[in-house]
């Protein structure tokens, strides 16, 4: 049986791409990349359309049942249940790669609530969530800013996402979730592969463990970089770590800022 799997990270530079690469190295799995949140816009639009059908379409369906094409059909819409089934088929057709038993996508902008919305259409969906020490995230984004790939506004938005997404996965819900800290994930790669394999229903022997040895930072860039420790950064950048909500969430993940 095929199984939808989402890889969610707490903002950029958290390690979600490493998890994506590990799972996609398995011959029975494939995880697509990010859409910059566009899939969320698509889900918003489709649920708005279902809401329109529920609110206005019923009158048109009754009219058609009684009067056929001579009725007032201006708001005639398919049944909400039929539309929901169509969106399930759409998601499956879009993300299920050929020959992949485990399939899905990764994103660094969606939280637990989004996963539970998607569960309405993909009831078997599961999530692997990865979080990273925000100080290391800041060091990585600082380097992106220095290269000119990233703006301060982007960094600020990424940290808002870190706080929101990480906090959401401290709550319980209906979607099965495997939460991992990036630091633990790379400290014991064998244990990491076992936990991911067990959660995803994949034989750990199928993973290519060499993905841990190749550090991929951006298109065409890998291996080591020179990153400034967060203590050496300008105060106007480090202030992002002083947010009370972020610090409380970080504490819950055992990051003591």
pLDDT single digits (tens) 46-68: 999 999 999 999 999 999 999 99
Whole-angstrom distance, CA of residue 145 vs CA of residue 155 = 8
Strands 3-9 and 102-107: parallel
Whole-angstrom distance, CA of residue 31 vs CA of residue 112 = 18
pLDDT single digits (tens) 162-207: 999 999 999 999 999 999 999 999 999 999 999 999 999 999 999 9
Report the mean per-residue pLDDT for the chain: 92
pLDDT(220) > 90: no
Give the per-residue pLDDT at 222. 55
Whole-angstrom distance, CA of residue 18 vs CA of residue 182 = 9
Would you place residue 144 in the very low, low, confident or very high pLDDT band (cuts 50, 70, 90)?
confident
pLDDT(218) > 80: no
Q: Give 227: exposed, middle or buried? Use CB within 10 Å, 0-12, 13-18, 19+.
A: middle
pTM above 0.75, yes or no: yes
User: What is the percent of the chain where pLDDT is above 90?
Assistant: 75
At 61, phi and psi to the nearest 5?
-65, -40
Q: What average pLDDT does the segment 128-132 reach?
A: 98
Q: What average pLDDT does the segment 30-41 reach?
A: 95
User: What is the percent of the chain where pLDDT is above 70?
Assistant: 96
Would you place residue 98 in the very low, low, confident or very high pLDDT band (cuts 50, 70, 90)?
confident
Give the per-residue pLDDT at 88. 96
Would you place residue 221 in the very low, low, confident or very high pLDDT band (cuts 50, 70, 90)?
low
Whole-angstrom distance, CA of residue 256 vs CA of residue 223 = 28
Would you place residue 1 in the very low, low, confident or very high pLDDT band (cuts 50, 70, 90)?
low
Would you place residue 215 in the very low, low, confident or very high pLDDT band (cuts 50, 70, 90)?
confident
Give the per-residue pLDDT at 217. 63
């Amino acid at each position: 049986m095929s199984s939808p799997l989402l890889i969610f990270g707490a903002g950029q530079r958290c390690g979600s791409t490493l998890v994506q690469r590990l799972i996609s190295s398995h011959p029975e799995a494939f995880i697509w990349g990010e859409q910059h949140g566009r899939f969320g816009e698509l889900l918003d639009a489709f649920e708005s359309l279902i809401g329109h059908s529920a609110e206005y379409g019923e009158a048109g369906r009754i009219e058609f049942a009684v009067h056929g094409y001579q009725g007032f059909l201006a708001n005639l819409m398919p049944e909400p249940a039929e539309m929901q089934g169509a969106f399930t088929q759409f998601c499956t057709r879009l993300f299920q790669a050929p020959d992949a038993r485990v399939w899905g996508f990764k994103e660094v902008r969606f939280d637990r609530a989004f996963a539970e919305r998607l569960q309405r259409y993909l009831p078997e969906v599961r999530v692997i969530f990865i979080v990273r020490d925000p100080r290391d995230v800041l060091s990585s984004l600082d380097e992106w800013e220095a290269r000119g790939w990233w703006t301060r506004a982007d960094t600020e938005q990424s940290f808002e996402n870190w706080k929101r997404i990480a906090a959401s996965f401290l709550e319980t819900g209906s979607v099965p979730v495997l939460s991992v800290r990036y630091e633990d994930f790379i400290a014991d790669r064998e244990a990491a592969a076992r936990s991911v394999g067990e959660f995803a229903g994949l034989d750990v022997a199928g993973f290519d463990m060499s993905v841990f040895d190749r550090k991929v930072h951006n298109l065409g860039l890998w291996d080591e970089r020179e990153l400034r420790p967060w203590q050496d950064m300008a105060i106007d950048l480090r202030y992002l770590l002083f947010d009370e909500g972020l610090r409380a969430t970080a504490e819950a993940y055992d990051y003591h800022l």
